[in-house]
A and B are shown apart, each in its own frame.
Chain A
Amino acid sequence: DAGITQSPRHKVTETGTPVTLRCHQTENHRYMYWYRQDPGHGLRLIHYSYGVKDTDKGEVSDGYSVSRSKTEDFLLTLESATSSQTSVYFCATLQGTYSYEQYFGPGTRLTVT
Chain B
Amino acid sequence: KNQVEQSPQSLIILEGKNCTLQCNYTVSPFSNLRWYKQDTGRGPVSLTIMTFSENTKSNGRYTATLDADTKQSSLHITASQLSDSASYICVVSAGGTGANNLFFGTGTRLTVIP
Beyond A41-B106, A42-B4, A42-B105, whether A102 also contacts B46 by CB under 8 A is: yes
Q: What is the CB-to-nearest-CB distance from A91 to chain B, in angstroms, rounded to a whole number?
A: 8
B9 nearest in chain A by CB position? A40
Query: Please, how many angstroms separate the alpha-carbon atoms of A45 and B104 in the complex?
Result: 10
Interface residues on A, range: 20 to 34
Instruction: Say whether B49 contacts A104, CB under 8 Å.
Output: no
Residues of A contacting B102 in the complex (Cβ-Cβ under 8 angstroms): 45, 102
Total residues of chain B contacting the partner, CB 8 A: 22
Binary interface profile of B, 102-114, with partner A (CB < 8 Å = 1, else 0)? 1111110000000
26 A-B residue pairings within 8 Å (CB atoms): A4-B43, A31-B99, A33-B99, A40-B106, A42-B4, A42-B103, A42-B104, A42-B105, A43-B104, A58-B99, A90-B43, A98-B97, A100-B32, A100-B93, A101-B46, A102-B34, A102-B102, A103-B46, A104-B36, A104-B43, A104-B45, A105-B43, A106-B42, A106-B43, A107-B42, A107-B43
B residues engaging A (CB < 8 A)? 4, 32, 34, 36, 41-46, 49, 89, 93, 97, 99-100, 102-107
The 9 closest A-B pairs by CB, nearest first: A42-B104, A104-B43, A48-B99, A43-B104, A104-B44, A42-B106, A100-B49, A97-B97, A101-B46
